Amino acid sequence: MNHDGYRANEWVRHLGVYEPGKPIEEVARELGFESIDDIAKLASNENELGPSPRAVAAMIAAAPRMHRYPDGGAFYLRRAVGERLGVSPDMLVMGSGSNELIDLLGHVFLSKGTSIVMADRAFVVYRLIAAAYEAETVAVPMRDYTHDLQAMAEAVTPSTRIVFVANPNNPTGTMVGQAEIDAFMRRVPAHVLVVFDEAYVELLEPRDQPDVMKYVREGRRVMVLRTFSKTYGLAGLRIGYAVGPKACVDLVHRVRQPFNVNAMALEAAQAALEDDEHVARTRRMVADGMRQLTVAFEAMGLEYVPSVANFVLVKVGRGREVFQALQARKVIARPMDGYGLPDHIRITVGREADNAQCLEALRAVLGR
Ligand SMILES: *Cc1c(COP(=O)(O)O)cnc(C)c1O
């Protein structure tokens, strides 16, 4: 792209451009499908059960009030989330998706001459945000598709401002456990902010969720990111939050827009938070669907990365071609060459019929 004539910041001209997938309607039109109803969209780790019915009711009830600005302080939602987590509301800040909070943390902590540490196959957004603030990214190789926390602690230098740990990680679906986290927290120098991105953690039964909130309560320099996009099924609304020591939360408040989270999202998130049944149903769907997919992968002789999240990396060989061929069979998965995994695709776990459609297409495409 030629930006001649614009006095843009030099580093911005060289940023990579995030390419979102095409709208499903457009894919259907290009491939000549009559409707989108029979397409299995298993590309973005969304909740295939949809939003909580209580969240839908709350949105409908809120619609006539949309001429009002939202509650910029997110008073009720911070109180409700704080009660659930056992932290005070002033340790919480809401974002337009947890992606916005990653950006806001970049705004607060990153600039030229600083750096972040992340795992080489962790969520790509961390390095995109670092580049947008002119910071360097130190990408530490994973071991067995899993964060190597010891190596990440050793990779910290005086210029490191943030260490990102996606747990569970997207796109690998792997998780580091309590013992590794505790050992990492003993080693990591006090000057860095550790960000635990827990976008998928609610999919785990509470007894299986690592406890990083204890570090927040102890006042360590730790921020925990959560989102309503995955387990709660509200990806379209864009709402997530960060939990951390009050002093760090205060810094984030200074750089956010006064109305960064919309009013519909605040209402829906509050209702979804109370709907434990929907979370339980979602966990069951994911557990059943994961079994359905992995049993079939084994029968087909396909290697996969065991996952605790609502998606799975499977090795199909020539991932981008397989992705295209699946799409022609009304199944949308995600190619992984962008993550340096050209032989893999990532499949989101859906309802039984979606998964079956995906498996049937995969058998046909791979001839297995
Ligand atoms: C999906 C995802 C998020 C959440 O993004 P939102 O902006 O809240 O929709 C954050 N981190 C990871 C690792 C994810 O996969």
Residue 53, pLDDT > 90, answer yes
pLDDT digit string, tens, across residues 104-123: 999 999 999 999 999 999 99
pLDDT band at 14 (very low <50, low <70, confident <90, very high): confident
Backbone angles phi, psi at 262, to 5 degrees: -80, 160
According to the model, what pLDDT value does residue 134 have? Answer: 97
Instruction: Give the containing element (helix H, strand E) for 62.
Output: helix 53-62
Across residues 177-182, what is the average pLDDT? 98
Q: What is the CA radius of gyration of the chain?
A: 21
| Average predicted confidence (pLDDT) for the chain | 96
From the CA of 71, how far away is ligand 1's center (Å)?
23
Is ligand 1 within 6 A of the CB of residue 170? Answer: yes
Q: Ligand 1 pocket check: which of 18, 101, 195, 197 to mutate, most ligand atoms within 8 Å of Cβ?
A: 197
Residue 23, pLDDT > 90, answer no
The more confident residue out of 249 and 1 is: 249
pLDDT band at 46 (very low <50, low <70, confident <90, very high): very high
According to the model, what pLDDT value does residue 237 have? Answer: 98
Residue 42, pLDDT > 80, answer yes
Indicate the pTM of the whole model: 0.97
Is ligand 1 within 6 A of the CB of residue 99? Answer: yes
According to the model, what pLDDT value does residue 191 have? Answer: 93
Q: Ligand 1 pocket check: which of 99, 195, 243 to mutate, most ligand atoms within 8 Å of Cβ?
A: 99
pLDDT band at 127 (very low <50, low <70, confident <90, very high): very high
pLDDT band at 162 (very low <50, low <70, confident <90, very high): very high
Residue 16, pLDDT > 90, answer no
Distance CA 243, CA 87 (A): 8
**For 53-97, where are the alpha helices, taking DSSP H only?**
53-62, 75-85
Residue 2, pLDDT > 80, answer no
Q: Which of 29-33, 116-120, 201-205, 294-298 has the lowest mean pLDDT?
A: 29-33
pLDDT digit string, tens, across residues 186-204: 999 999 999 999 999 999 9
Q: Do 272 and 233 contact (CB within 8 A), yes or no?
A: yes
According to the model, what pLDDT value does residue 20 have? Answer: 72
Q: Which residues pair with 332 in a beta bridge?
A: 41
Distance CA 303, CA 56 (A): 39
According to the model, what pLDDT value does residue 239 have? Answer: 98
Across residues 202-213, what is the average pLDDT? 97
Residue nearest to atom 15 of ligand 1 (CA): 170
Which atom belonging to ligand 1 lies closest to the Cα atom of 238?
Answer: 9
Sheet of 334-335: strand order equals: 304-305, 311-315, 344-348, 334-335
From the CA of 255, how far away is ligand 1's center (Å)?
20
Backbone angles phi, psi at 136, to 5 degrees: -85, 150
According to the model, what pLDDT value does residue 22 have? Answer: 78
Across residues 171-190, what is the average pLDDT? 97
Which atom belonging to ligand 1 lies closest to the Cα atom of 98?
Answer: 8
How do the residues of the chain divide into helix, strand and coil, expressed in percent and rounded to 5? 45, 15, 40
- Directed axis angle between helix 98-109 and helix 246-255, to 10°? 90
Take residue 352 and report the two structure tokens written for it.
């039984």
pLDDT digit string, tens, across residues 131-155: 999 999 999 999 999 999 999 999 9
Strand pairing class (160-166; 115-119): parallel
User: CA nearest 95: which of 228, 190, 191, 189?
Assistant: 228
How large a percentage of the chain has pLDDT more than 70? 100
The more confident residue out of 20 and 96 is: 96
